[in-house]
Amino acid sequence: MQTVFSRTPTLKDCTTHYCPGCGHGLAHRLVAEVIDELDIRSRTLGIAPVGCAVYAYDYIDVDMIEVPHGRAPAVATGMKRMRPNNIIFTYQGDGDLASIGAAEILHAANRGEKITVIFVNNAVYGMTGGQMAPTTLLDQVTATTPRGRSQQNDGFPLRICELLTVLPGTAYIERCSLHDPKHIRQVKKAIRRAFEHQVEDKPGLTLVELLSPCPTYWRKSPKEAMAWIANEMTKVFPLQCFKEPEKS
Amino acid sequence: MSEKVLMCGNEALGEAAILAGVDGYFGYPITPQNEATAYMARRMPEEGRVFVQSESELAAINMVMGAAATGARAMTSSSSPGISLMQEGISYLAGLELPCVIVNIMRGGPGLGSIAPAQGDYFQATRGGGHGDYRCIVLAPASVQELVDLMQLAFDLADQYRITVMVLGDGILGQMMEPVELRKLPRRDLPEKTWAITGARGRPQNILRSLLMTDNQLELHNKHLQEKYAGICKSETRVEQFDVDDADVICVAYGIAARVVKSAVIVARDEGIRAGWIRPITLWPFPTDAIGMAAEHKGREFLVVEMSCGQMLEDVRLAVNGKAPVRFYGRAGGAVPTVEEVLEQIRKIAPVIVD
Ligand SMILES: Cc1ncc(C[n+]2csc(CCOP(=O)(O)OP(=O)(O)O)c2C)c(N)n1
């Protein structure tokens, strides 16, 4: 019998701690596949966030460090400056990157650090029990917006890609989604492109945002969660390549 | 012996770090340590090494974390409010057991305080400062020369024990110029950094983590840290003593306050007062034994002098353990005790001996 699909070696052979229908597992697999396709496993250094993906090092088989909440881009800066020939990536949730770590990502991007950022936007804080994230949609009910996110009290959903695109220090910015196979293929392409840019040692920070399902804290079935991304999240977070290496 | 040059402490500490082979400096401006950041901005690229002005002290300590994680020698320098901002990172560095050097050129506090020299961060430095059960080695130089020497020791201690070493000075030490010999001290025999994340080539993945949630792992990790700390207490405690043997009054002070105290003790001796002086060089580990031993001598009193409202005082009291009276004289908020003020305190305690 012919093998048509197998687990990529950099993804460890184990069960994850993620909830059913969670997007992190998918995102991990795609990152691992790209690392293997580019044959960079032995020189890739990963940074795990504080968030549901804190155990990323238990699943992605590269050298990794777990760092304080939101500070991954600063840690990545220290690593890349010391070891410019290594491929450095951060893997961060939307609370980690867009809220507590907003300053670190902004300045790493503005310095044009040659790192790759995998930004997983699930519109909530998963790890702490489904509280509002900066990316939570207006009227979305979370543990800390029991009446729905109100613009007066909580401000607006924060669009990171749009913000970072205006910085000359960024090279490649794309927002994709994990809600169906077609879009997942696009995620893979984008992650590959981001890593390739770094492998080629081209200037600028690369970031791929993934709209990612959190059925548990959206109080939806996995299937409903996928539909909610397609129908609601993409309205606020349009899927788009905001900045391409060739054009920057 | 190489020749002496006149240098301010902030610049000298930078040059000392370069002598020690620092690979990366990451920092954010703050008075009274600004000369250090500016010096490194000029010198590190000259040496082909890395300088980054971070967007905050939060970022600085995390850049240090990243650099240290790869096995590089990394440092930052700052002053009190900036060090406060770094505490989360310092706690993580302790959990991850990453080596690094942090310089705190202390200023007056609390809050924005002042830019004048102070010693109000003793508790923060010696008790850990951030969350969790951990320690940093704290070195307290009292001259620019000692600063140069201890900076180099700091990098070795950090690598040897996989620990944060804080060099604790104050605004005077940072700003004052003194003749120094920029001598390179021999490096200790240090363990290889097999734990560093450099890329898993021909070996299993290295993971640096501090989240340990299963099987009592975290308590075991804490026990491991405590054993390491106990070893440091045994081997690395440093203290200087002066005229202690026959003293009726022993002054205890560190850093710049110890310079003032030394002058006062010399004058007191001239006046016929049997005064002596103990200067902790490591604030953690604290020279508890040296002070405890000095307290065994009957009829002695201790005088702790600090540029704070009495912080090291607690450690001295613990060391003396009720065996002798411990008095305190401190100036705070950027004020510096004068020789005359300290002498006044000594005279109050000690009888003049007419031989
Ligand atoms: C300094 C600090 N503040 C708060 C927390 C608690 N905390 C852990 S994860 C998290 C939010 C994570 O959300 P996100 O980044 O969106 O990732 P997700 O869990 O959704 O994948 C928070 C607030 C922490 N660990 N550290």
| Contact at CB, A74 and B66, closer than 8 angstroms | yes
**Total Cβ atoms within 10 A of residue B302:** 25
Domain end position, chosen among B235, B261, B291: B235
Query: Which positions ≥6 away from B320 have C-beta within 8 Å?
Result: B291, B292, B295, B302, B326
Please tell me the distance between residue A39's alpha carbon and the centre of ligand 1 in angstroms. 32
Please tell me the distance between residue B290's alpha carbon and the centre of ligand 1 in angstroms. 46
State the pLDDT confidence band at B1, using cuts at 50, 70 and 90. Answer: low
- Looking at the structure, tell me whether residues B313 and B266 fall in a common domain: yes
Residue A125 Cβ < 6 Å to ligand 1: yes
Mean pLDDT calculated for residue range A1-28: 96
A219 has pLDDT over 70: yes
The first and second tokens of residue A210, run together, are 């993934």
Q: Which residues of B touch A44 (CB under 8 A)?
A: 199
B255: domain CATH number?
3.40.50.920
Mean pLDDT calculated for residue range A192-199: 98
- Looking at the structure, tell me whether residues B337 and B251 fall in a common domain: yes
Give the total number of structural domains in chain B. Answer: 2
Please give, rounded to a whole number of angstroms, the shortest distance from the CA of A58 to a CA of chain B. 9
pTM: 0.97
Cα A98 to Cα A161, A168, A172, B12: the distances in Å are 10, 19, 18, 39
Query: Which positions ≥6 away from A246 have C-beta within 8 Å?
Result: none
B354 has pLDDT over 90: no
Domain boundaries, chain A: 24-243
- Looking at the structure, tell me whether residues B263 and B205 fall in a common domain: no
Please give, rounded to a whole number of angstroms, the shortest distance from the CA of A83 to a CA of chain B. 8
Taking the Cβ of residue B229 and every Cβ of chain A, the question of whether any pair is shorter than 8 Å is answered with no
State the pLDDT confidence band at A246, using cuts at 50, 70 and 90. Answer: low
- Looking at the structure, tell me whether residues B258 and B157 fall in a common domain: no
Please give, rounded to a whole number of angstroms, the shortest distance from the CA of B68 to a CA of chain A. 8
Q: Please say whether the beta carbons of A89 and A38 come within 8 A.
A: no
Domain that holds residue B211: 4-235
- Looking at the structure, tell me whether residues B222 and B310 fall in a common domain: no
Nearest C-alpha in A relative to B93:
A67
| Contact at CB, A63 and B198, closer than 8 angstroms | yes
- Looking at the structure, tell me whether residues B75 and B181 fall in a common domain: yes
Mean pLDDT calculated for residue range B208-236: 96
The first and second tokens of residue B204, run together, are 């299993």
Please give, rounded to a whole number of angstroms, the shortest distance from the CA of A40 to a CA of chain B. 9
Please tell me the distance between residue A128's alpha carbon and the centre of ligand 1 in angstroms. 6
pLDDT digit string (tens) for A151-194? 999 999 999 999 999 999 999 999 999 999 999 999 999 999 99
Residue A211 Cβ < 6 Å to ligand 1: no
Domain end position, chosen among B235, B250, B277: B235
Mean pLDDT calculated for residue range B281-296: 98
Mean pLDDT calculated for residue range B168-197: 97
- Looking at the structure, tell me whether residues B315 and B223 fall in a common domain: no
Least CB-CB distance to A74: which of B23, B62, B200? B62
Q: Please say whether the beta carbons of B266 and B187 come within 8 A.
A: no
Q: Tell me what pLDDT residue B128 has.
A: 82
Helix, strand, coil abundance in chain B, percent, nearest 5: 40, 20, 40
B122: domain CATH number?
3.40.50.970
pLDDT digit string (tens) for B135-173? 999 999 999 999 999 999 999 999 999 999 999 999 999
Mean pLDDT calculated for residue range B223-229: 98
Mean pLDDT calculated for residue range B262-266: 97
Mean pLDDT calculated for residue range B41-64: 98
Residue A101 Cβ < 6 Å to ligand 1: no
Q: Tell me what pLDDT residue B352 has.
A: 72
Domain end position, chosen among B182, B206, B235: B235
- Looking at the structure, tell me whether residues B246 and B100 fall in a common domain: no
- Looking at the structure, tell me whether residues B303 and B333 fall in a common domain: yes
Chain centroid offset of residue A20 CA: 19
A204 has pLDDT over 90: yes
- Looking at the structure, tell me whether residues B208 and B343 fall in a common domain: no
The residue whose two tokens read 């060739």 is A246
Mean pLDDT calculated for residue range B49-75: 98
Cα B93 to Cα A101, B86, B163: the distances in Å are 18, 11, 8
Residues forming beta bridges with residue A48, ordered by sequence position:
A66
Fold adopted by A24-243:
Rossmann fold (3.40.50)
Q: Tell me what pLDDT residue B11 has.
A: 98
Cα A142 to Cα A212, B10, B355: the distances in Å are 16, 50, 82
B307 has pLDDT over 60: yes
- Looking at the structure, tell me whether residues B214 and B248 fall in a common domain: no
- By CB atoms closer than 10 A (0-12, 13-18, 19+), residue B306 is buried
| Cα gap B252→B276, rounded to integer Å | 9
Q: What's the whole-number average pLDDT of chain B?
A: 96
Q: Please say whether the beta carbons of B213 and B95 come within 8 A.
A: no
| Contact at CB, A82 and B197, closer than 8 angstroms | no
- Looking at the structure, tell me whether residues B207 and B106 fall in a common domain: yes
B240 has pLDDT over 50: yes
Among A55, A174, A202, CA closest to A118: A174
Please tell me the distance between residue A52's alpha carbon and the centre of ligand 1 in angstroms. 8
State the pLDDT confidence band at A248, using cuts at 50, 70 and 90. Answer: very low
The first and second tokens of residue B51, run together, are 């300088």
Shortest-distance Cα residue to atom 21 of ligand 1: A52
Least CB-CB distance to A57: which of B69, B198, B207? B207
- Numbers of helices and strands, H then E, in chain B: 13, 15
Q: What's the whole-number average pLDDT of chain A?
A: 97
Mean pLDDT calculated for residue range A86-103: 98
